[in-house]
Amino acid sequence: MILEDGTIFEGERFGAEASVVGEVVFTTSMTGYQETITDQSFNGQIITFTYPMVGNYGINRDDYESIAPTCKGVVVKEHARLASNWRNQMTLDEFLKRKGIPGIAGIDTRALTKKLRSAGTMKGSIVDPADQLDHSFDQLKATVLPTNQVAQVSTVTPYPSPGVGRNVVVIDFGLKHSILRELSRRECNLTVMPYNTDAQTILDLCPDGVMLTNGPGDPKDVPEAIEMIKQIQGKVPIFGICLGHQLFALANGADTYKMKFGHRGLNHPVREIATGKIDFTSQNHGFAVAEKTIDPQKLMITHVEVNDGTIEGIRHRDFPAFSVQYHPDAAPGPHDGVHLFDDFMEMMDAWKEQA
């Protein structure tokens, strides 16, 4: 594995035999590697796992967050060749081979993570040792990472997930299946729409609420979604998660910025300002909302990250709309924030009563 700053890590290949280039990031999750790899928010990225052993419980049918993962590669300290779990259907190695994703094991993931923390995320490449390294470095430096990640992972065609309760339109920016699971548990009747759906098409469905999902990349690369949010807020309740949170902030005049190395893991403490309650949360994002750009006449800050003070939640002062930077759907846990889905249900019910 090579990094754009000239660093070289030698390891053992597993998974697909392919050379790839992507943004190298790290996650501090101690479990949930299947959910992580299949999370479309990792589109185009090479995922470094800080937990030393990955693959020991295999791959199962229940923990997919998408069917066709689009991360570029997987980096681990130790790859477990033997998977032992009653739900196991295949090994991690076999899964990555089927999905065309290369992995590299046996490298010093602690050293790599410390480099990313000090220098920030950077381009990297997993290459075959037989390749000429000088040529590989030249290719790596010349590669321009794509900015259309949302278009790559969003559904192209609208589709329903039928229920018997509240009618919710889900805007797919790269959704995790766990979002659909939580809404389905609350018997919502779901219609999943592409990322570039216009406001009128959404409103024509007469939704009780709109969910803005997670997704990859820079929120400023999705201007059509920002315009759509401007046009629907105040007309229908809105709940945004992760990228949806950033887009909601942009639609209300705030700004976003690229973080040095982002938040990726399952152990991020978030404080609710109103109550002081701390939730441990699942997070996966490389951009954040800039606090100083938030207009206090429009938006109220509801949650902050305990470790670095970044904005983790906002609520509109005039309209039934709120968003959080973390993943209340978890998958894997912790599940401390799952109550936000219930808050969304209550918001939709209250709005309907006033109509």
Angle at 249 between CA 313 and CA 182, to 5 degrees: 50
Catalytic residue among 39, 63, 93, 329: 329
286 is in an annotated binding site: yes
Catalytic residue among 242, 263, 316, 336: 242
Measuring CA to CA, which residue among 287, 279, 240 is closest to residue 261?
287
Q: Is residue 231 packed enough to be buried (19+ CB in 10 Å), middle (13-18) or exposed (0-12)?
A: middle
Q: Is residue 327 flagged as an active site residue?
A: yes
41 is in an annotated binding site: yes
284 is in an annotated binding site: yes
209 is in an annotated binding site: no
Catalytic sites, residue numbers: 242, 327, 329
**Residues annotated in the binding site for L-glutamine, as ranges?**
41, 215, 217, 243, 246, 284, 286-287
**Residues annotated in the binding site, as ranges?**
41, 215, 217, 243, 246, 284, 286-287
